[in-house]
Amino acid sequence: MKHFFILICLLLVSSTRSTQANDVQKVLPRFLISASSEVKQDRKEIRRLEYSPRDYDAATAWQKQVRAELVELLLLKGSLADREQWDLGVKVLSTTEQPGYLLREVTFNSTPNQRINALVTLPLGLGTGLFPAVVCIHGHSSNRRSVYESDTIYHGFAARLAAMGMVTVAVDVGQHEVRNPDTTLMGERLFDLIRCVDYLESIPEVDPKRIGCAGLSLGGEMAMWLGAVDLRIRAVVSAGFLTVMDQLEQNHCLCWKFDGLRERVDFADIYALIAPRALLCQIGEQEPPSQFNKVLAKQAFSEIYRIYADKDAPKKARLHIHPGGHEMHLPTLSSFLLEILGTSP
């Protein structure tokens, strides 16, 4: 019982706790009581770097510290420092014309010893100049093609953005085996996405000041990570993922977890590294309590919002609870990215 009450206390920290407390208590006991007995760390050792309100400069210093510690945990420090010296070695495998854009299959170097395949789109018929670009990220049991397909939970959001005049790129991030024993699984997934940003910057048609990312489920998680670590990302859409780490200890793939993570942060703290850049989180009204439900999403978002307020950007962080389930909501995705990134030159 002691662990259960500490779990609840950790969640009820926002200014709206009086109304949220009842909602959390209705949803959590069914799965967090059991979770508390399986989380092996002592509660006092968890989330020691949790964000708390402070002034702008102190918030920036907190971000710098937390980002540096997470990069170390991900075993990415060396790769991030060396990647500018690594040639992308882009090769175009095929090109097809779609309504409003070109679709290309390309391959490029993630590291000197690892090439990755990608889909990339370029606008057609919109003239010359610089276009915004979006890294589009799939979830579990999907691949880079899924985000362009309309008959999936992604609703073809990458194809929609391409037709709107944005450059898009998608790679596979669903692997569950580490390619290099000196790295971490999450680190490898994230680094491939960072190399997507490098690739976008190499495309003459892309405006490097207007690059965003969007993903659903695992893709929402990876969008969170990409926005948190890569400061070139100007807008993040994280759909079907906003929650707390305790909830993901049960009935979920544990690929999100790696040594040292829980001792330092919860997901809200990782999202907080995006501030003051634009962030949209989406959660479906029909998500069941054991999944990415709206109660935990609201609680986590209230914690994220604190740093946006401290960095004078409260309108840059948004939570949209749409009427669907575990899926991308196209209207808010499209309007958000149009607002932040724009379209044609």
Q: What is the 3-state secondary structure (H, E, C) of 258-312?
A: CCCHHHHCCHHHHHHCCCCCEEEEEEECCCCCCCCCHHHHHHHHHHHHHHHHHCC
**Residue 148 near residue 182 (C-beta atoms within 8 A):** no
Number of residues that make up the chain: 345
Helix, coil or strand: residue 159: helix
**Domain residue spans of the chain:** 2-341
Tell me how far apart the terminal alpha carbons of the chain are, to the nearest angstrom: 59
The reported pLDDT for the residue numbered 19 is 47
Q: Per residue, what are the HEC states of 81-140?
A: HHHHHCCCCCEEEEEEEECCEEEEEEEEEEECCEEEEEEEEEECCCCCCCEEEEEEECCC
Is residue 137 within 8 A of residue 213, CB to CB? The reply is yes
Q: How many Å apart are CA 250 and CA 160, to the nearest integer?
A: 34
Is-above-0.85 flag for pTM? yes
**Strand ranges, E, within the chain:** 91-98, 101-111, 114-123, 131-137, 167-171, 206-216, 233-239, 278-284, 317-322
Per-residue model confidence as pLDDT tens digits over 205-240: 999 999 999 999 999 999 999 999 999 999 999 999
**With the C-alpha atoms ordered 157, 179, 183, 84, is the resulting torsion angle positive or negative?**
negative
CA pair distance 252, 97, nearest whole angstrom: 39
Counting as low any pLDDT under 50, the low residues of the chain are 1-22, 24-25, 29-41
d(CA 98, CA 160): 11
Q: Do 173 and 138 meet the contact criterion of CB atoms below 8 Å apart? A: yes
* CATH T-level assignment (fold) for domain 2-341: Rossmann fold (3.40.50)
